[in-house]
Amino acid sequence: MASAINHVHAYRSVLREVTKSSKVAQAARDKSITSSLRTIIAKQRADPKEIELFNHDIQNVVTFMRAQREHKKLIDRYNPLFDLTAEERIVATTRRVGLNMPKLYDASAPGPDPTAKEPEPKE
């Protein structure tokens, strides 16, 4: 009976971490993940020594998933430039030090130079 409780606890803890780390809503999530998890855990009901090793492995999986989720949260919190493109990163960095990026020259759509003075008409 204790092994059945451990299996239920292991299944629920893995499922909880999958739910927390998922980017997709629960209704839109693929059902094969939960069914595969259920199948893997159901196969491990034989030898008590194997059950103990399996429970240890499952706890390692849960710990890894929790650490990955926490790592992502910390990266997003303390490194906001992580997921930006190179150009967006440059703009954000210049704003951070109190500057604004100048408009870059676009060779495909050259326009008039706003700093150039109009030539004075000749008489």
Give the model confidence (pLDDT) of 36-87 as tens digits. 888 887 777 667 778 888 888 888 989 999 999 999 899 888 887 777 888 8
Q: Work out the pLDDT band at 1, boundaries 50, 70, 90.
A: very low
For the full predicted model, state whether its pTM sits above 0.75: no
How much of the chain, in percent, has pLDDT values that exceed 90?
9
How many other CB atoms are found less than 10 A from the CB of residue 41?
A: 19
Q: What per-residue confidence (pLDDT) applies to 118?
A: 65
Average pLDDT over residues 14-35: 79
Kindly list the domain boundaries of the chain, sorted by start residue. Answer: 2-78
Q: What per-residue confidence (pLDDT) applies to 63?
A: 93
> In terms of C-beta density within 10 A (0-12 exposed, 13-18 middle, 19 or more buried), how is residue 106 classed?
exposed
pLDDT tens, residue by residue, 10-24: 878 888 888 887 777
d(CA 72, CA 20): 12
- What mean pLDDT, rounded, does the chain reach? 80
Q: What per-residue confidence (pLDDT) applies to 23?
A: 75
d(CA 97, CA 34): 48
The per-residue DSSP string of 77-119 comes to HH-TTTTS-HHHHHHHHHHHTT--PPPPP-TTS----TTSPPP
